[in-house]
Amino acid sequence: MGTEVLLQVAILVLTLGIFFAMHNFPKKFLTKLRSKGRTTALAHRNFVQGAHLLARARSARNRTTSLNLAKGAACEADKALSLDPKDAAAHILKALALDLMGHKSSAIRSLNAALSPPAMKSLSEIERGDALFKRAELHSGTESEAAGNERGGEEGVRGGYEGRARFSRGS
Which pLDDT tens digit goes with each residue over 52-107?
A: 999 999 999 999 999 999 999 999 999 999 998 999 999 999 999 999 999 999 99
Interatomic CA distance for residues 154 and 116, integer angstroms: 34
Interatomic CA distance for residues 164 and 143, integer angstroms: 11
The CATH code belonging to domain 39-142 is 1.25.40.10
Q: What is the pLDDT of residue 156?
A: 39
Taking the whole predicted model, whether its pTM rises above 0.75 is answered as no
Ranking 25-29, 56-60, 110-114 by mean pLDDT, the lowest is 25-29
Nearest by Cα to 50 from 67, 36, 66, 70: 70
